[in-house]
Amino acid sequence: MHLPKTAAARIISCDVFDTLLHRDHRSERQRFNDIAVLAARRLASERRIERHSGAIYDARIEVQKQAYRALDLSCPTGDVRFADMIEAMARILSLDAPAAEILHEAELEIERQQLKANAPLLAWLGEQAQAGCRIIAVSDIYHRGDTIAQLLAARAPHHPVARIYTSADHNATKRTGALFEVVLLEEGVAPAEILHIGDDGRADVTMAQAAGLRALQVLRPGHLVFRRRADALRARVLHALRIRAGHGRHGSAPL
């Protein structure tokens, strides 16, 4: 990762996942499985509710798929909210509000376990903040900003981020450019005064530049990309085999 000595910007905007905070080699589906296993364990021990981890995993996959499908039809520039997905999962799994909160807590716990601070970037951002730059985080994610703040506090407690913008909070995404419009309005600066840093070529580079921001791409290591793709393929194959075996949603086994 090559960073300039100085940002030469009034504001440095950073993506969160795989930029400020690095995910490990696990794919999204494997992470969902880990969340489901933890949630099932906690539901049983804390609420005496038996829900198979496979049922929780299947509910998560289905709810997220349907949520984004509906979003594409109703509000293509917006994003889904995790709270709405948890509510839908609770209906599918027949869980009350306290039990649904366990699903939410399990998600955050697994995120904390599988995220790691990008120490070189955070150190550089700290230097830029001391030099007078304002540091903000801008993320396309279904989580609210306060959830991202919790994750940053847990994995990078001395981070210099002054404000967090998420697509869930503003119903606007980087990948469509709408969230950058929100940032520019809220921050009250000219686009060229912001340097945006992120890993995604479209959302963090192409769309940032289209909005007039300067952009710097932080690439994920090739071996990590390969391992995640292999892990995702494994998860999909095991899920297909599980369905073929006839276990169904409520009798399926964890990955």
Helix (H) or strand (E) holding 12: strand 11-14
pLDDT digits (tens, 9 = 90+) for 99-153: 999 999 999 999 999 999 999 999 999 999 999 999 999 999 999 999 999 999 9
- pLDDT score for 82: 96
| pLDDT tens per residue across span 137-193 | 999 999 999 999 999 999 999 999 999 999 999 999 999 999 999 999 999 999 999
The pTM of the full predicted model, rounded to 2 decimals, is 0.87
Cα torsion through 225, 227, 232, 234, rounded to 10: 160
**Dist. CA 151–CA 20, nearest whole Å:** 11
Sequence-distant (6+) residues with CB within 8 A of 57 are: 32, 33, 36, 252, 254, 255
21-23 and 115-117 strand pairing: antiparallel
Is it the case that residue 250 has pLDDT exceeding 50?
A: no
24: its two tokens: 């490990």
How far, in Å, are 6, 46, 116, 123, 240 from residue 120 at the CA level? Answer: 14, 40, 12, 5, 40
